[in-house]
A and B are shown apart, each in its own frame.
Chain A
């Protein structure tokens, strides 16, 4: 191998002259091409390719408490603008989406606080975000009533987590809600670990009610053919992973089961690979399973998704321009 192939492109130094748009800053990062700046600019390029690739279905895997932290409207807008086609989320993120849809709030707090004092005041802490317990209580009450209604309408028939999420979205009257946006756009939204969230506790409340004959049945196994078929029918597939965990594995496993492998992959995480946990596993490791193609456009960005993901979206929206319209492949 010739020595000169290692020394082809010099690092260009970042220049900040006057006003810069988000994408102009990303282009400066691209000039550097180094460290986190280089990875972030690669992620913007890959997302742009996913969007412009007419045969690509875009999956968004959501883990970590990004909805309580303020990413709710961003995700809802991406669904409405058809810049994300399928969402796979933790139950918890959608619980927090529903809390706000029902009039509750998340509050700016601090990580350095007397947590026992919060406990005595019925306030929950998610790092530096506070949630009053009564917002959960109101959610429990209202959703338990919705569960009754959904169960009565379905009369013992089981729902996939996607059907369940749409049933909730149908009943949430809030344009900023992710569940509502997914329902209106008929964008699939899977909650594979739905039980492991307040949704599970609400089910207990609903099912333990006197005279509850036919409790709501959500069958997460029903999700499997639904999501695998989406991968199968789509000529190409791309994923954006925020965090990792069950949502990441659900998307990747669909790519594996459909024998397709992801064509594009962006992972935003702060986890490390050494523990063997999925949230930190490298994209190379994912290739070994056939979940991501060896030649896929792929990047793992190490950083706080609350910072990284909005920057990626802002940069790509700027590139696409206001008149850009996308029709998802599976909606044509």
Chain B
């Protein structure tokens, strides 16, 4: 049986428009950049334009660990 796809939590670090900026705390959002908004946002933030990324990465996991350790 096919493995059930993981439902991604709505975080910038899980969004298709993210690239790491200050790993793992902050990401660069190309959509916000194109709209002349501040493109550097928290990995664990989210906006209404969120769409799931196809990339499996550790951004959210590491950002959560980083948050807990403080």
- A interface residues, Cβ below 8 angstroms from B: 119-122, 132-134, 136-138, 140-141, 144, 205, 208-211
With A140-B28, A141-B39, A209-B36 known as contacts, the answer to whether A122 contacts B57 (CB < 8 A) is yes
CB distance from A121 to the nearest CB of B (A): 6
With A120-B57, A121-B58 known as contacts, the answer to whether A134 contacts B19 (CB < 8 A) is yes
Encode contact with A along B47-58: 1 for CB under 8 Å, 0 otherwise: 000000001111
User: Considering only CB atoms, which chain A residue lies closest to B39 in the complex?
Assistant: A141
With A120-B56, A120-B58 known as contacts, the answer to whether A134 contacts B33 (CB < 8 A) is no
In the complex, 11 of the A-B residue pairs with CB atoms within 8 angstroms, ordered by the A residue number, are A119-B57, A122-B19, A133-B19, A133-B20, A134-B23, A140-B19, A141-B28, A141-B40, A205-B30, A209-B33, A210-B34
With A120-B56, A120-B57, A122-B57 known as contacts, the answer to whether A137 contacts B21 (CB < 8 A) is yes
**Interface residue from B20, B36, B40 paired with A210 (Cβ < 8 Å):** B36
With A120-B56, A121-B57, A122-B57 known as contacts, the answer to whether A138 contacts B21 (CB < 8 A) is yes
Q: How many residues of B contact A (CB 8 A)?
A: 18
CB distance from B28 to the nearest CB of A (A): 5
Q: Among A122, A133, A138, which residue has the most Cβ atoms of chain B within 10 A? A: A122
Q: Is A208 a contact partner of B34 (Cβ separation < 8 A)?
A: yes
With A141-B28, A208-B34 known as contacts, the answer to whether A134 contacts B39 (CB < 8 A) is no
CB distance from A216 to the nearest CB of B (A): 16
CA distance A132 to B21 in the complex (A): 10
CA distance A141 to B40 in the complex (A): 10
Q: Is A132 a contact partner of B20 (Cβ separation < 8 A)?
A: yes
List of B residues within 8 angstroms of A137 by Cβ: 19-21, 28
CB distance from A281 to the nearest CB of B (A): 39
Q: Is A132 a contact partner of B30 (Cβ separation < 8 A)?
A: no
Residue B41 lies at the interface, judged by CB distance under 8 Å to chain A: no
Chain A facing B: main interface SS = helix
CB distance from B41 to the nearest CB of A (A): 12
Q: Among A121, A132, A137, which residue has the most Cβ atoms of chain B within 10 A? A: A137
Q: Tell me which residues from 1 to 58 in chain B have a Cβ below 8 Å from any Cβ of chain A.
A: 19-23, 28, 30, 33-36, 39-40, 55-58
CB distance from A47 to the nearest CB of B (A): 41
List of A residues within 8 angstroms of B21 by Cβ: 134, 137-138, 141
With A120-B56, A141-B28 known as contacts, the answer to whether A134 contacts B35 (CB < 8 A) is no
**Interface residue from A119, A136, A209 paired with B34 (Cβ < 8 Å):** A209
CA distance A276 to B57 in the complex (A): 41
List of A residues within 8 angstroms of B36 by Cβ: 209-211
CA distance A49 to B11 in the complex (A): 61
16 new A-B pairs (CB below 8 Å) besides A133-B20, A137-B19, A140-B19? A119-B55, A119-B57, A120-B57, A122-B19, A122-B20, A122-B23, A132-B23, A134-B19, A134-B20, A134-B21, A136-B19, A137-B28, A209-B36, A210-B34, A210-B35, A211-B36
CA distance A54 to B23 in the complex (A): 51
Q: Is A141 a contact partner of B23 (Cβ separation < 8 A)?
A: no
Q: Is B22 a contact partner of A134 (Cβ separation < 8 A)?
A: yes
CB distance from A134 to the nearest CB of B (A): 4
CA distance A119 to B54 in the complex (A): 12
CA distance A136 to B19 in the complex (A): 9
Q: Is B33 a contact partner of A122 (Cβ separation < 8 A)?
A: no
Q: Is A122 a contact partner of B34 (Cβ separation < 8 A)?
A: no
Q: Among B19, B22, B35, B55, which residue has the most Cβ atoms of chain A within 10 A? A: B19
CB distance from A316 to the nearest CB of B (A): 42
User: Considering only CB atoms, which chain A residue lies closest to B23 in the complex?
Assistant: A134
CB distance from A193 to the nearest CB of B (A): 24
